[in-house]
């Protein structure tokens, strides 16, 4: 029997991406609500009672309301995957980055409430957490994370502005240093010091680069860039969707990287660009902000939660 899924908010960018991917997954059946009843709490609650899992593709406040509705069902409550920011650092929720740590895949598989990661933190955490866990980076290290995303991650108004030619070619934002992704970036990187995070958006639809510059002599034992690379390789060994591109492969020599080559995939690529003579390195993560950064991660988590290969 197929597992049943209700996407609450399936008309948005992330919801549409999840729906499209799920249609290609055997063993999952999507249940949809009548468009006229999308904002009817009782109709949504009734559908929740009929499915195995609910995916929330909603603004934070609406996501919290949906969780409360599901809780009213008691033993009939479905498992919940929340794609909003609302529950990423909340008690009782499992963070849905399956490659976060060796035990995280099983944690997602067994959880009733999973918070899908943000796109920027997916790249940042993937680069930082292995170095902290390996003792190479102190937990109180003064981290700076820079990132650029395609405009599709900015919501309806930003998408419309770019597609109408009314938006700038490139802009920094979040310069009040209170971006909503900061709490999860800090917590799941195992950092005790709040990082500085500077996001930006470019005039391309999708694709993302997340970079972390480092002075190697400020890290424990003054490692070489190869040591950082090896720590990443060791952490992600055996994971199909996270790949460390190494210097030995000859792909780093050009010293350049573009953001869009992983578009329409669910992959995450990590690289270490280093200049050991100068004692400096830059860690870089590349992903599709709509793939591993959103809908792709959601489907990966759903398949784990529902036991679907």
How much is the pLDDT for 157? 85
* 8 Å CB contact between 196 and 147: no
Provide the pLDDT for residue 250: 64
Residues 192-204 as b/e (b if ≥16 CB within 10 A, e otherwise) read eeebebbbebbeb
> 170: which 2 tokens?
């490139």
3-class SS at 146? strand
Q: In whole angstroms, how large is the CA radius of gyration of the chain?
A: 20
Domains defined for the chain, CATH in brackets: 3-117+294-306 (3.40.50.720), 119-289 (3.30.360.10)
Predicted pLDDT of residue 255: 84
Which residue stretches of the chain have pLDDT < 70?
250-251, 253
Question: Containing H/E element for 212?
Answer: strand 208-215
What local confidence, expressed as pLDDT, does residue 251 receive?
65
Q: Which residues in 57-207 belong to E strands, given as ranges? A: 79-82, 94-95, 113-115, 144-150, 170-172, 196-202
How much is the pTM? 0.95
Give the integer Cα–Cα distance in Å for 34 and 48.
Answer: 13
Asked if residue 305 lies in contact with residue 108, where contact means CB atoms within 8 angstroms, the answer is yes
Nearest 5°: phi and psi at 134? -80, -5
The verdict on whether 119 is a catalytic residue reads yes
Of 115, 119, 285, 287, the catalytic one is 119
- Which helix (H) or strand (E) element contains residue 82? strand 79-82
State the pLDDT at residue 252.
73
């Amino acid at each position: 029997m197929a597992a049943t899924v209700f996407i609450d908010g399936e008309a948005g960018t992330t919801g549409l991406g999840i729906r499209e991917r799920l249609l290609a997954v055997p063993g999952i059946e999507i249940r949809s609500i009548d468009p006229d009843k999308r904002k009817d709490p009782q109709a949504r609650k009734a559908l929740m009672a009929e499915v195995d899992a609910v995916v929330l593709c909603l603004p934070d406040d609406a996501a919290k309301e949906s969780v409360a509705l599901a809780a009213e069902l008691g033993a009939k409550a479905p498992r919940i995957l929340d794609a909003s920011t609302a529950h990423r650092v909340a008690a009782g929720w499992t963070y849905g980055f399956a490659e976060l740590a060796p035990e995280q895949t099983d944690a997602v598989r067994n959880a009733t409430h999973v918070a899908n990661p943000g796109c920027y933190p997916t790249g940042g955490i993937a680069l930082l957490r292995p170095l902290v866990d390996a003792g190479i980076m102190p937990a109180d290290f003064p981290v700076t994370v820079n990132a650029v995303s395609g405009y599709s991650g900015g919501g309806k108004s930003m998408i419309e502005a770019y597609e109408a030619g009314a938006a700038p070619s490139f802009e920094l934002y979040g310069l009040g240093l209170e971006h909503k992704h900061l709490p999860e970036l800090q917590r799941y990187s195992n950092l005790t010091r709040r990082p500085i995070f500077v996001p930006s958006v470019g005039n391309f639809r999708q694709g993302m680069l997340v970079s972390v510059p480092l002075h190697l002599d400020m890290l424990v034992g003054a490692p070489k860039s190869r040591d950082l690379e090896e720590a990443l390789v060791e952490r992600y060994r055996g994971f199909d969707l996270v790949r460390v591109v190494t210097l030995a492969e000859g792909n780093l020599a050009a010293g350049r990287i573009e953001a869009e080559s992983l578009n329409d995939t669910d992959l995450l690529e990590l690289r270490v660009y280093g200049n050991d003579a100068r004692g400096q390195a830059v860690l870089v993560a590349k992903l599709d902000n709509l793939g591993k950064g959103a809908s792709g991660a959601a489907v990966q988590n759903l398949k784990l939660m529902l036991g679907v290969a």
